Amino acid sequence: MNKPQRQYAIKELVLSREVGSQEELAALLKKRGFDVTQATLSRDLAELGVSRHHTDAGLRYALGAPENELKHTPLVTQEVTAVEQNEVMIVIRTLPGRAPGVASYLDSLRHPSILGTVAGDDTVFVSPASVKRISATMKLIKELLFS
């Protein structure tokens, strides 16, 4: 079975039941015919934007950002003053001292289009996962920070 089928199964499992660990998720995938390594499962979870969230039942996997991260979005949008790009990188300008918070917010989303960020005092460098899709990543960042 191929990667898209495996990732679809991961999404389906995370959405349909409470999964608390990679070992548990790997066992559920194995029952469906997917024998995955921990490294492959970690990459799939990151690409899908699946992360562990605190619930009343303990840590559980879920799609998307936890509620407390979503609550910080309006603050982050007020700290950004400009977003620019060249052929290989996106640069976000912030109020003085605010770049680390903006970078942390973007990193916490674990969006597959964003490879990573580096923050200074008032500037964030965003490395897109693919320079071929930098325009789409720029559009995503503007939507995240300005909507």
- CATH number of residue 42's parent domain: 1.10.10.10
Cβ neighbours of residue 20 under 8 Å, at least 6 residues apart? 52, 57, 58, 59, 60, 61
35 neighbors 76 (Cβ within 8 angstroms): no
Tens digit of each residue's pLDDT (9 = 90 or more) over 83-108: 999 999 999 999 998 899 899 889 88
Confidence of residue 147 (pLDDT cuts 50, 70, 90): low
Cβ neighbours of residue 73 under 8 Å, at least 6 residues apart? 105, 144
Both 59 and 105 in one domain: the answer is: no
Tens digit of each residue's pLDDT (9 = 90 or more) over 29-81: 999 999 999 999 988 888 888 888 777 778 888 876 554 444 455 577 788 99
112 neighbors 132 (Cβ within 8 angstroms): no
In this prediction, residue 68 carries a pLDDT of: 46
In this prediction, residue 73 carries a pLDDT of: 56
Both 74 and 91 in one domain: the answer is: yes
Both 73 and 124 in one domain: the answer is: yes
Both 97 and 76 in one domain: the answer is: yes
Q: What is the total count of domains within the chain?
A: 2
Both 10 and 72 in one domain: the answer is: no
Q: Whats the size of the chain, residue-wise?
A: 147
Radius of gyration of the chain (CA): 17
The CATH number for 80's domain is 3.30.1360.40
Range of the domain at 79: 68-146
Q: What would the two tokens of residue 65 be?
A: 């950002």
pTM (two decimals) = 0.53
Cβ neighbours of residue 95 under 8 Å, at least 6 residues apart? 79, 81, 122
